[in-house]
Structures are given as C-alpha cells and as structure tokens.
Amino acid sequence: MSTLSKNDADQLCINTIRTLSMDGVQAANSGHPGTPMALAPVGYALWQRVLRYDPSNPVWPNRDRFVLSAGHASMLIYSLLHLAGVKAVNDKLEVLDTLAVPLEDLKGFRQLDTLCPGHPEYHWTSGVETTTGPLGQGLATSVGMALASRWMAANYNRPGFEMFDYDTYSICGDGCLMEGISGEAASLAGHLKLAKLCWIYDNNRITIEGKTDLAFSEDVRARFGAYGWQVIHVKDANDLESFEKALATFRATSDRPTLIIVDSIIGYGAPNKQDTHSAHGEPLGEEEIRLAKRSYGWPEDAKFLIPDGVLENFQSGIGQRGKTLRQEWDEKLKGYQKAHPDLADALQRMQNGTLPDGWETSLPTFPADAKGVATRVSSGKVLNAVAQKVPWLIGGSADLAPSTKTFLTFEGAGEVKPGQFGGRNLHFGVREHAMAAILNGLTLSKLRAYGSGFLIFSDYARGSIRLGALMGIPVIHVFTHDSIGVGEDGPTHQPVEQLASLRALPGMIVLRPCDANEVVESWRVIMQSRKPAVLVLTRQNLPTLDRSVFAPASGLAKGGYVLADAADGKPEVLLLATGSEVSLCVSAHEQLTKEGVRSRVVSMPSWELFGQQSQEYRDSVLPPGITARVAVEQGSTFGWERFVGMTGEVIGMTSFGASAPAEQLQVKFGFTPERVVAAAKAQLAR
C-alpha cells in the first residue's frame, strides 16, 4: 500500500469494508448489506482517523466508545473490528492473543456460535460496547456512556491527572430517530448540555417499507436544535474531509451534544441501489455483487478479499494512535496511584466489579414493629446507607423520587444538573424507557446505576430492561407501588401482570421483600450480584416481623425460606407468599395453629434465587409429600403452579384492579386472613 496515494489507500480500505459486508451477508443468505456499504467511509474515517481506541486493549477505561445503534448494519462493525485487529477479551477482562473477530467468523456471519451474530451482542463479541438491534436503544444507551464519562471526570480527575475524557459516538438511522426512546434520550442529553456525545445520523431516506416519506417527514435538524444540540450537515458520506471536519467541530464543542447528519445512498456502488428492499433487508445476489465489485475496481469473483496493505494501514492509523494514547494513560495512572491512592483504588474496584471493604457495615437493622413501615421507605434508608459506602452507586427516578424514596439525602450526595455532572442524584424526567437504557449505559461504563418508578410503568421501560437482562449487566431497577394496594389510583396504576412478566426475563433477579429486614437483605444480594435486579416495593406499611420469633431475614439470599413452621416441624399445609402477602399468611398461620392445623409459612421473595438452590434445599422448604398448598400474591396467578402444583390454590389477581381505598380492595379481591384460612382448610379437605 506504500505505493498508493493516501486517497487511494483510504478508498481501498473503504471498499474492503464494503466487499466484506456484501460477502458476509451473501454467504449467510440473510442480513442487511446496504447500510454497511453506504457507511463504510463514515466508519472508516471515524475509526482510522479520530477514534481514541487501542485495538490491542479494547477494555482500556478511557477509550472512546462506539455504538452501532443501527444494529442491522452489524457487518460494518464486524468488518471494522477485524480490520483494526481488535483483540478478544475474556470474562475476567484479560486481553487474549486472538482476534475479537477472526476472518472465519466473518465468513460465518449469522451462523450458529459465530462471533458475528445477526445484531451486535455485548459479551459475545469483544469490542461491541452494547447490544443493539431494537432501534433507538443504542442511542439511548450511548447517553449513559457519555454521562458516565462526564461523571467520572468530575469525580476522579485531578490537576495533572485527566484520567477520563473519552467521547461517545453512535451511528443511527431513520428508524432509530423514529423510535420514541431516541427522542426521550436526546431531550435529556440536550437539557444536561451533555458534551462528548456525538450521534451520526445516516440520512439515506430509506426504511424497509420504502422511502421515509411514507411516515417520516419532520425536520430533524430543527428538532435537534430545539433539543439544544449542535447540528452539522455533511452532504456526502463519501466526503471524508468534510466528515472529519465535522468530527473536529464536535470535539471542540464543550457545552452540548452534537448530531452529524450524513447524507448517504444505501447500497452505494450496487447497480440496483434504488431497489430499497434488496439493498436494506436481504442479500444483493451474486450477479449484483459482481457488478458492484466491478464498479469498485475489485476482482469480481473474489470473496472476503483483504488486499495487501489494508491491515497495515489500519495498524499505522488507529492501531498506533490508540496504543500510544493508552500507554500514555497507563503511565499517568502510575502517577495517579501514588498521588491519589484512594481514588485509584476506587477506579480499580469499579473496573473489576468489586465493592469497597466494609461496605456492609452501615446496613441498618429494623426492630420488630406491628405497625411497620412501607418497604419503599425502608429501602430508601438502606439505599442511602449503601451509597455512602459505595461512591460509584448513582441513580434517580423517572420524576418519582419523592414517591420511590430513591433520593440520596446524605451530605455531599449532590445532583447532576445541566453542565454539572459530579452529583449522585440523577433526574430522568418522565422518561422511563430512556431511563432504563441510560442505566444500561452507565452500568456498561462500570458504575453501579439504579433507576426507579412505579411497578406499572415497568411496561414503559420494558425494551431497555430486557436488553440489560440479555447483556447480563448488574443494573438495578427499583419499582414501588407494587399492587392493588395503590388503592384509589385505580387499575391504570395497579400492577397485575408485571411481576410475572419480569420473572419471565432470563437472568433477571426479581426481589419482592416482605418487610424492612428482607429489604436490607435484598440490597445485600443486589450489591454483591453481577446480575440485573428488580426490587419490588410497597407503598403501604408492612409489619416488621419479630425475627426472634420468625426465621432470620438472611434466608432471603436463598430466594425462599421457612419463615414460620408447625410446632413439631411437620406441617400438613404450606402457605407461600411474597411481599405484602407474607404477613397475611402469618396471620392465617396463627389462626390455623389455634385451630390445631399444622401449617408452614414460606416467604418466597425471589423465584430466581430459589431456583438456583440445590434440590435438597428446595425440598426441605417445600416437601414434595405435602401437596396441600396455598400461594398468595397480589398479582397474576401465572407461574405459581410450579410451586403449588396443579391441585394447589393460588389467591391472586385474575382481573385488573379497581379504584377504591386499599382496605376495601383487599376484601373485594380476597386478600384476607379468613380467605387464606379457608383455602388452607379446603386444601386439607381435598
């Protein structure tokens, strides 16, 4: 390549990206070739000329982040990862001496066990910063990453030691901007004046159904200007110099995020590029690929060709630049460790996912109290205790902190405000979906992030919650107002099916504690876990159980435990419940005991944790020989049959709720000790 001019070398690399993308999609007979072909110059210019990223250490903490929100264009990022020589990383964050995307995996695009799945998957392909696919998610997640950059800088940079100043880039398309989540996220980013965030909008005017004017005719430039963003227009995706100037303008801007609108032609170089379905949603076909390659001056029958000098060009660009920047950072870190050992220790723990020594020492214990306290209130106290010990635990709510009790009130907690990023309290506004995606971005950036709202509105956040579960990252969702106990607000605010829905997510730990001390244990589990978690809490007061009489709340760590038992330890009927219904079962248990019926109360705050226990333990809690069983939960009965069997009874919700005082609703829907006692007796009679 040394004999080529710079422009010719650039074009050769760009066409390599294009042809790899075409060949990968064709080999799979599945995928989207058009966008990678059109955006090859944009991806090349960003990675080769600007991105501060070391392919030999793709987990360097101060690397620039690149998010392909238009995840259907995955062959673009896979080609870039291969050509840049990005190394693979294992689960321990150790860099391996293998490529993140070997050529064989490019050839196996979309096939079983390949490192190149249909859409980019975090933890599956090294160098992929977040899972994308559902449009708009990558954009919203990138806001969390950019916010983390500013937060880390505000809290950990010191004079002479600028440890964090990374930029976050995301490539998006028309579909991403149509999805509501992108508007939520862009609005918040503009409000916060969140610099160091750059969205690159592929303005190709095409969606799967046809031209965008079928359903999308807004002035995107004006829209983002109204959000408070800087907007730059590059009229041709192939104009590398104009695009690089736009990136330079972004990097020089310190008071707002930037949108770069790039006009492109989908399937650039393909003779049939106006056939939008072919260019966007399916392989081009062998004949059209040959014609496209001919237009690039490429060997028409060559497949997955990487011409001599292409890899060397990437190594002399992003490879050398990134390695130099990372080595300079490593040297700076050595000085930082000497000058600020406590801060350096915190950074190390953050990156490794470990907690500060003694983080549990301030966890409260709650005395027995018949009147009790709402679990949202006890959770707020525990959260504040934990956050004082874990300085990188940050979060907020979707405009509901006074109700969810998630505001950090200790001295120095502070708030994130426009242009001020050092605080611990975030205000997401009424934006549940974007909030959950931003939490994903913060968590991917190694912070411990939590967000909160009413359980009913988990529906609004569902897409982002699912992606957090799919990635297996320890994001924390706190949901209050967990049942028909919400009362007069009525069925629009009374969650019924949400618990079952959240439990259905693979890898998600759902916790519904029964009293203040189970809340303490819930936070203990959450903070030590590397899994995503949902904490489900009440608005109404719940009795704080006397743990000298009942089993210790530490049983929560096993998901389910025997809370109260028959005097001889040989029950004849089992009463199972979560959350507010546990105390209901305790009352029923006391009544049954007086009547000579041997019952056992099982608190089951987490089905997921219970399922992880040994069969021996589970059988000790729910003896298989005892088939008389009653489960009680103010939610959908769906799923409880796994614990009560097909002959057990579930007292739950089989309809939506109603608007009335909570006490009246409990009676109307059968959540009373008398109903539980009657159900237990009916089970024994059966």
From the number of C-beta atoms within 10 Å of its C-beta (0-12, 13-18, 19+), residue 251 rates as middle
CA atoms of 134 and 652, how far apart (whole Å):
34
Q: How confident is the model at residue 676 (pLDDT cuts 50, 70, 90)?
A: very high
CA atoms of 224 and 214, how far apart (whole Å):
21
User: What is the pTM (predicted TM-score) of this model?
Assistant: 0.97
Given the residues 121, 129, 179, 432, the one annotated as active site: 432
pLDDT of residue 278: 47
Q: Model confidence over 308-363: pLDDT tens digits?
A: 999 999 999 999 999 999 999 999 999 999 999 999 999 999 999 999 999 999 99
Mean pLDDT for the stretch of residues 27-32: 95
- pLDDT reading at 301 higher than 60: yes
CATH 3.40.50.920 in the chain, residues? 556-685
pLDDT of residue 268: 78
pLDDT of residue 417: 98
Strands 541-544 and 561-564: what pairing?
unpaired
Average pLDDT, the chain: 96
pLDDT of residue 3: 66
pLDDT of residue 266: 86
CA atoms of 111 and 88, how far apart (whole Å):
19
Contacts (Cβ under 8 Å, ≥6 apart) of 49:
240, 244, 247, 317
Q: How many CA atoms lie within 13 A of 39 on its CB side?
A: 32
CA atoms of 531 and 500, how far apart (whole Å):
18
| Coil vs helix vs strand at 530 | coil
Q: Which CATH class is domain 369-543?
A: alpha beta
- pLDDT reading at 172 higher than 90: yes
Contact 289, 227 (CB under 8 A): no
Contact 128, 121 (CB under 8 A): yes
CA-angle at 619, arms to 618 and 623, nearest 5°: 135
pLDDT of residue 613: 98
Contact 188, 434 (CB under 8 A): yes
Q: How confident is the model at residue 267 (pLDDT cuts 50, 70, 90)?
A: confident
Instruction: Return the CATH number of the domain spanning residue range 556-685.
Output: 3.40.50.920
- pLDDT reading at 482 higher than 70: yes
Nearest Cα to Cα of residue 495 among 541, 437, 527, 455: 455
Q: How confident is the model at residue 61 (pLDDT cuts 50, 70, 90)?
A: very high
Percent composition of the chain: helix, strand, coil (DSSP 3-state, to 5): 45, 15, 40
CATH 3.40.50.970 in the chain, residues? 6-326, 369-543
Mean pLDDT for the stretch of residues 469-496: 97
CA atoms of 154 and 385, how far apart (whole Å):
23
Q: What is the DSSP letter of 551?
A: P
- % pLDDT > 90, the chain: 94
Q: Model confidence over 357-387: pLDDT tens digits?
A: 999 999 999 999 999 999 999 999 999 999 9
Contact 658, 490 (CB under 8 A): yes
pLDDT of residue 277: 46
| Coil vs helix vs strand at 368 | coil
Contact 660, 681 (CB under 8 A): no
CB atoms within 10 A of CB 647: 11
- Which one is the CATH code of 6-326: 2.40.160.20, 3.40.50.970, 1.10.150.20, 3.30.70.1060? 3.40.50.970
Please, which contacts does 272-275 make with residues 24 or more away whose CB atoms are closer than 8 Å? 273/34
Q: Model confidence over 551-604: pLDDT tens digits?
A: 999 999 999 999 999 999 999 999 999 999 999 999 999 999 999 999 999 999
Q: What is the largest CA-CA distance in the chain?
A: 96
432 is catalytic: yes
Residue 646 main-chain phi, psi, to 5 deg: -75, -15
Q: Model confidence over 271-292: pLDDT tens digits?
A: 765 454 444 568 999 999 999 9
CA atoms of 631 and 640, how far apart (whole Å):
7
